[in-house]
Chains A and B, each alone.
Chain A
Amino acid sequence: MTYLVESTKTMNSGPRRSRLGTVLSLLWADKFATFAALFLLLLMIACLVGPLLVGDAAGGINFAGRNAPPQLEKGFLYILGGDNLGRSLLARIVVGAQTTMGVAVAAVVTSVVTGALLGLVAGYRGGLVSDVIMRLTDMIMSFPSLLTALVVLYVLGPSVANLVIVLAITRIPVYLRTTRAEVMEARSRVFVTAAIAMGASPARVLFRHIVPIVLPTLLTIAAVDFAAVIITESGLSFLGLGIQAPDFTWGSMVATGRNYIASAWWLSFWPGLAITLTALSLNILASWLRIVTDPQQRWRLEGGRKDD
């Protein structure tokens, strides 16, 4: 009983805020997540308006600034230095964000959605359907993912769309297997049986009861996967099967800089840092989201005092 009295206090404190207000205050409660969200917001702005602002500086060759070290003398654009053709690294990182994020987001979303849907079916239906899906997954997993990518891109020809498809296919098994395992576990929980006994349709059981249980895990994996996809894409670009010049991504920038690593480390370092920060931000935000969506954890952000 005391338990409930206490929670009454915490829950009814203050007037009811709007939904957005609640989300923002929960975000503010976790300072790391706030920074991560700000960074991603910045990144989103760069993706949208970057090419308009500094598109020329990213494309124009300027031999005077070849491998220019980070400095302030050449102006604001060269604060991070210049690349092997003298283009501003800052401008290229801003412009490259669009392609990089485009490919990575498209690949991760495709693989999460496909993997989760197939996993839901396999986990919930079981039987022959599940067996067929699982054996197909085993086949994908038994090829080295880079080899699969090479073969497919060689046959279909390198293009952004094909790159997304290849990256997605090699990632699907992770989501599929995780989803299936979690669904099978969730399916045996009593509240799922209770819903079925109440007459809930399979769709209702899946999307109202099982998906909310599985989703936090998938989001966490997706956030980690994001960096992996960017790295794989840069590997493929390096092999000449990924993004083709004049398009470029952070991954291909790292790959280009590799040749100059001994004399001009900044060529690889800055785009590498951009990848790391993006992945880190997504990770932090994903773990924040996991806490927010879990009613039993949310108190940590709702001004839960720690008296110890």
Chain B
Amino acid sequence: MTEQHTPLLAIEGLKVQFSGPRGVVNAVDGFSLTVERGETLAILGESGSGKSVSASVVMNILDMPPGRITAGSVRFEGRDLLRMTPAERRKINGSEIAIIFQDPLAHLNPVYSVGWQIAEVFRIHGRARDATEAREKAIALMERVGIPNARSRADQYPHQFSGGQRQRVMIAMALALSPKLIIADEPTTALDVTVQRQILDLLKDLQREMGMGLILITHDLAVAGLMADRVAIIKDGTIVESGGIRDAFTAPKAAYTRQLLEAIPHVERTRRSGEEGELRPPLLVARDLTKEYQLSRGIVGGSAGTLRAVDRVSFTLREKQTLGIVGESGSGKSTVARLLMRLTDPSSGSVHYRDRNLFSLRGAELLAFRRDVQMVFQDPYGSLNPKMTVADIIAEPLAIHRDILPRAQWRDRVRELLGLVGLKPEHAERYPHQFSGGQRQRIAIARALASEPRIIICDEAVSALDVSIQAQIITLLADLRDKLDLSYIFITHDLPVVRSFADEIMVMKAGAEVEHGRTDDLFLRPRDDYTRKLLSAGKIPAWMQRIETAGHPGIPRAETRTTP
């Protein structure tokens, strides 16, 4: 290091304020970090921690107002970005600093072809003599990021690409002008696990090849552990821990880091219902469940064939057991949930609940079934009616099934349920938007419990939540199972999440069952290639698995379950 050494990017004492309905919020509060050439820095934090805001400042895409930069400097190769004129900033954006967003579909323009959009980057910055040259460069880039048949695919539109390919296109656009710094904001969060790994590998290869600096913004410890040289862990707008990634993870200094590491699903800390599950009586038995959809051929009608969303799936859910159904998007796992909830009818096959065929239930019998089987949805923002108070939401099953409780006792029951899921009685009068994602999911669970169900179907119930919240919700579900004798069907795309929780796991791919067995058998001796692929894709790097959080007893359990 010479004295004139200037880091590629140096952020110093950055403060960003947002004025909102509830006064001024310091989204970023005294933020300092540096990135060197060829280095990967992971900014790790949960939603609302200010990690994306700091990236927006670097890219000059912060919405101002409501946002306001009140202090600090952002130096790129020694030049302060915050003091530049808009024209100077534009010259740097794209050509020297580029960004990759989380949701590639939202950031690609649906009415232009993909090739055109990549070529646009060359045209804007005058790096191509004419349209033909820009196009050729775009095609070369598409090949480079691993899109097959790039020449013909360049004329296709964003919706014709899969999620992973769209992210490759975004990467191609970011790389177009060989930037010195790339900011990747949750680049793989919206993707399936097996695709995630491919995209991360691609990013890593390209970075090594081109010697760029990479800022990887993520909430996923595994992604950070896999990719980063250094890490900055941020909470509430300030950096609570920074340094080499191995140091930070193996010898964490901040309590928050330990809390994050605690949330990594560990085998030892099992939350399963216990052994001898086979002996319990079966509750829900599915046999050869099949659901086909007719694909229509445009407006004229007529069938263009059938799509088998679910293909002869069979399983048995026993009392007080948890069955995990694992698969990537399009595997048919959500269709299974819809079938089990009788939101749709199967093409063939049967589901028996307590020896009654689910699909022949009518009227009062169906109502009784709906009382016994409840569902918790993935999106805690969408599954609660925004115009109803929490009390009304939780009491809704009671309003539907009038024989459970007389109206006069609803109020007390709602308070009791709120306590059961770790919320406070006075939360009853509020509206869903006043709660965080994890709290909303607790409300959804309280609602599911209101009718004293036997089975709760969780469709990706923790996927939309931050990792530490995920762990809390899983713990809550396991506690409730033991307390209330519940059975769960837990549908997820995330194998590690179910490992500590499910007794049995069924892996699905393209509508069919790939592998089915006891959780430990499946994790230790996976028989199918696809299961193995899922396992390796979701795996945290080996050195991280050895992190023994038990060695830092620091925070007792009760404290990690931050009661709101």
Residues of A bordering B, CB below 8 Å: 1, 3-4, 6-8, 10-11, 189-191, 193-201, 204, 209, 212-213, 293-296, 299-300, 304-308
Contact = CB atoms under 8 A, between A and B. Distances in A.
Nearest to A189: B382
Interface centre among A4, A6, A212 (most CB of B within 10 A): A4
A197 B370 contact: yes
13 contacts: A4-B435, A4-B439, A6-B22, A190-B383, A191-B382, A191-B384, A193-B377, A193-B383, A196-B343, A199-B366, A213-B387, A305-B23, A306-B19
B434 A7 contact: yes
Given A4-B436, A204-B400, A212-B385, 14 more contacts: A3-B436, A4-B435, A4-B564, A197-B374, A197-B375, A198-B396, A198-B400, A295-B387, A304-B21, A304-B22, A306-B19, A307-B23, A307-B24, A308-B66
B422 to A, nearest CB: 13
3 nearest CB pairs, A to B:
A199-B370, A295-B431, A308-B19
B37 interface: no
B433 A295 contact: yes
Interface string B418-456: 000000001001110111100100001001000100000
A124 to B, nearest CB: 15
Interface string B260-281: 0000000000000000000000
B192 interface: no
A217 to B, nearest CB: 13
A3 B434 CA distance: 8
Given A199-B366, A295-B387, A308-B19, A194 B24 contact: no
B400 A200 contact: yes
Nearest to A293: B387
Contacts of A295: 386-387, 431, 433
B562 interface: yes
A200 B375 contact: no
Interface string B107-124: 000000000000000000
Contact of B374 (A198, A201, A293, A307): A198
Contacts of A305: 23
Nearest to B392: A208
Contacts of A11: 429-430
A212 B387 contact: yes
A204 B451 CA distance: 17
B187 interface: no
A202 to B, nearest CB: 12
A200 B397 CA distance: 8
Contacts of A10: 22
B468 to A, nearest CB: 13
Given A209-B385, A308-B65, A199 B400 contact: yes
Interface residues of B, number: 42
A191 B383 contact: yes
A73 B154 CA distance: 82
B341 A7 contact: no
A289 to B, nearest CB: 13
A204 to B, nearest CB: 7
B401 interface: yes
A8 B430 CA distance: 10
B241 interface: no
B396 A195 contact: yes
B343 A3 contact: no
B564 A1 contact: yes
B371 interface: yes
Contacts of A191: 382-385
Interface centre among B397, B401, B434, B435 (most CB of A within 10 A): B434
Nearest to B439: A4
Given A193-B343, A198-B396, A307-B24, A296 B386 contact: yes
B379 interface: yes
A190 B440 CA distance: 14
B436 A199 contact: no
B367 interface: yes
A238 to B, nearest CB: 43
B330 to A, nearest CB: 19
Given A6-B23, A305-B23, A307-B19, A198 B387 contact: no
A193 B382 CA distance: 10
Nearest to A188: B382
A3 B22 contact: yes
Contacts of B396: 195, 198, 200
A199 B371 contact: yes
B377 A194 contact: yes
Given A1-B564, A11-B430, A194 B387 contact: no
B377 A199 contact: no
Contacts of B371: 199
B431 A199 contact: no
A191 B388 CA distance: 11
B21 A299 contact: yes
Interface centre among A7, A189, A197, A307 (most CB of B within 10 A): A197
A3 B439 CA distance: 12
A189 B381 CA distance: 10
B358 to A, nearest CB: 13
B379 A190 contact: yes
Nearest to A210: B385
Nearest to B384: A191
A237 to B, nearest CB: 41
Nearest to A216: B387
